[in-house]
Amino acid sequence: MIITDLTQDDTHFDSFLKLIKESYDSNHKLKDNYKYILETYDDYEAFILLIDDQNPVAFCGLQKFYNNSLRTFSRYYLSQKYRFYNGNRFLESSQYILPWSIDFAKKKNYSYLFASFQSNYKRSRVMNIFLDNANKYTSENWERLESLQNTCKNNLDKPECWQHVIRCTLKENEKWNLISQKK
């Protein structure tokens, strides 16, 4: 498996287009998230494509939050060919994407790397698998934050903006700037 950053290298752009077309044609419940990806992927700090022997596997963005945080797995899409819902297979790509994301975040001097999951979908099982994978495939200590976090730049009114977050701290004594939901 290889990872390429599409904001820096368009060598595999045709594979990216193939995967985007698949996302448009899918019945995936978040398929509207991919509607404008061709117009917006270049706005991310990085937008990566995971490739397995010339086959596109997954794509996702690394998105800057405030000055010190970076979200990975933003607009994550996994090809139908690699999508198996039994056990851990759905997030198997995390063993490649997470270490790459950590290296990128450290090089860019971020304090936090996190992934978020919409709270209006049942995500507890997926979050636990993701957390286990994050701690298994990286040398960082990942944690699940107790309260929901606002991931829409302080748009407090939209339910989909309040998300479950799994985070690792890359630099100690730095302020976490996302807003936590009051219980």
CATH code of residue 152: 3.40.630.30
36 in any annotated domain: yes
Q: Is pLDDT larger for residue 89 or for residue 161?
A: 161
178 in any annotated domain: no
176 in any annotated domain: no
Nearest CA-CA partner of 76 in 124, 8, 29: 29
Mean pLDDT of 42-67: 93
The model's pLDDT over 123-136, given as tens digits with 9 standing for 90+, comes to: 677 788 889 989 99
Is residue 51 within 8 Å of 2, Cβ to Cβ? yes
183 in any annotated domain: no
90 in any annotated domain: yes
Mean pLDDT of 117-124: 68
Which stretch of DSSP H or E encloses residue 94?
helix 94-107
174 in any annotated domain: no
The count of structural domains within the chain is 1
- Range(s) of the domain holding residue 63: 2-169
Sign of CA dihedral 140, 143, 149, 152: positive
177 in any annotated domain: no
107 in any annotated domain: yes
pTM for the whole structure: 0.89
